[in-house]
């Protein structure tokens, strides 16, 4: 068989067993890219319904995933974010996360396969509390290199003596990966606002409750509280109101396209999460960060977005009064569009990196 006709099977490994919007989206866009280029893919523990919807095979055995793949990718995630010893001992999720790396490393060595992390992130620090299992994984010969989504992680990964390259987060370019149809028409003066908040960030806060009260009184304001996990995984750390009405809605992530479509049709989003907000921004919807993590602040600063990093004591009434005016929420008013367009263009290089890996492994096989 000629190299041109050769079809590879590329495994995608990641933290896909919690039905998390950002993680699922990463897996699916990378898998779809591989399929479009004529190769097969298998995603580790991708939700069964998403697997069927997107026609992407899912595999729950890490050993079978590795055995059946020509090579593997890690599809996004905070794989370089440290977990303290206490967290690793007491948190079942943290324990499982670290054990997954140990099992993956074991299977890669047993089958002699390579894996390349793609658009992974960390804390942009030199001192990171990685477990032994993760340190051993990144130092192993099974991991030749990969791509990073934060420039500040480069010095840390260089301590592993591996070839990692920084490109902006792959989700900067999400608008070019899906066909979502036209934006819905709504009355000129009506504002649709998306809100995604983490309960622990709301202690001693009441602006989110004030927002609900305001929406109930204003006919031109609709607020969608967004939950970013598939319902079956029963994650309840995100705030939603006790009940819905005409102007206060709960949007539950059930399909990738459904949530993308909502984000595209909103007028603005306030989120504590990077990937929900960044996806909205890629679709043309302004993203405001409330108590976002370091990776969120770093991403927004990289595109001149200091205006959209909300202060913890911001006033929701003043916010609504100002940003209800369309001219105040133009992307050109909130971000440096030259920087934003540059980041979007550069983010496509994650796909170029994958393409080069495919070509190299086609020659090797």
DSSP annotation string for 113-138: --EEEEEE---S-S-----HHHHHHH
List, in sequence order, every residue forming a beta bridge with 74; answer none if it has no partner.
13, 117
Residue 293 has pLDDT above 50, yes or no: yes
In this predicted structure, what is the pLDDT of residue 339? 97
Count of CB atoms situated within 10 Å of the CB of 124: 19
What domains are there in the chain, each with its CATH number?
Answer: 3-166 (3.40.50), 191-343 (3.40.50)
Amino acid 85: pLDDT: 62
- The predicted pLDDT at position 89 comes to 64
Task: Please give the structure tokens belonging to residue 44.
Answer: 């580790």
Residue 137 has pLDDT above 90, yes or no: yes
Report whether pLDDT(182) > 80. no
Q: Report yes or no on whether pTM surpasses 0.85.
A: yes
**Is residue 155 pLDDT above 70, yes or no?**
yes
Pair type for strands 58-59 and 40-44: parallel
For 311-362, give the DSSP string. Answer: -TT--HHHHHHHHTSGGGG-HHHHS-HHHHHHHHHHHTHHHHHHHHHHHHHH
Give residue 81's pLDDT band: very low, low, confident or very high (50, 70, 90): confident
Q: Are 278 and 171 in contact (CB under 8 A)?
A: yes
More confident residue, 329 or 129: 329
User: What is the three-class DSSP state of 76?
Assistant: strand
pLDDT in tens, 212-269: 999 999 989 999 999 999 999 989 999 999 999 999 999 999 999 999 999 999 999 9
Q: What is the pLDDT of residue 90?
A: 61
- pLDDT digits 0-9 by tens, 183-204: 777 787 899 999 999 999 998 8
């Amino acid at each position: 068989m000629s190299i041109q006709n050769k079809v590879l099977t590329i495994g995608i490994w990641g933290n896909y067993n919690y039905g998390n919007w950002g993680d699922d989206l990463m897996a699916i866009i990378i898998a779809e890219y591989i399929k479009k280029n004529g190769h097969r893919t298998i995603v580790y523990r991708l939700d069964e319904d998403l697997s069927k919807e997107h026609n992407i095979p899912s595999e729950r055995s890490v050993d079978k995933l590795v055995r059946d793949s020509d090579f593997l990718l890690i599809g996004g995630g905070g794989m370089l974010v440290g977990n303290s010893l206490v967290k690793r001992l007491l948190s079942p999720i943290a324990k499982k996360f670290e054990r997954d790396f140990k099992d993956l490393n074991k299977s890669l060595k047993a089958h002699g396969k390579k894996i390349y992390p793609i658009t992974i992130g960390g804390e942009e620090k030199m001192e990171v509390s990685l477990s032994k299992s993760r340190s051993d994984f990144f130092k192993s010969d099974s991991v030749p290199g990969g791509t990073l989504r934060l420039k500040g992680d480069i010095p840390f990964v260089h301590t592993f003596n591996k070839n990692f390259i920084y490109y902006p987060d792959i989700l900067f370019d999400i608008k070019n990966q899906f066909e979502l149809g036209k934006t819905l028409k709504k009355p000129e003066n009506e504002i649709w606002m998306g809100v995604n908040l983490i309960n622990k960030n709301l202690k001693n806060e009441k602006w989110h409750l004030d927002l609900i009260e305001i929406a109930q009184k204003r006919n031109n304001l609709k607020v969608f509280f967004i939950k970013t996990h598939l319902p079956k995984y029963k994650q309840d750390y995100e705030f939603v109101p006790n009940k819905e009405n005409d102007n206060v809605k709960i949007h539950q992530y059930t399909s990738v396209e459904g949530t993308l479509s909502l984000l595209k049709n909103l007028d603005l989003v306030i989120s504590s999460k990077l990937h929900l907000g960044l996806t909205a921004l890629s679709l043309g919807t302004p993203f405001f960060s409330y108590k976002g993590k370091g990776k969120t602040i770093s991403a927004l600063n990289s595109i001149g977005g200091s205006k959209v990093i909300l202060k913890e004591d911001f006033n929701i009434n003043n916010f609504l009064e100002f940003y209800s005016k369309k001219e105040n929420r133009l992307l050109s008013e909130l971000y440096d569009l030259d920087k934003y367009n540059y980041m979007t263009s550069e983010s496509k290089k994650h796909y170029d990196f994958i393409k080069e890996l495919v070509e190299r492994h086609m020659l090797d096989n």
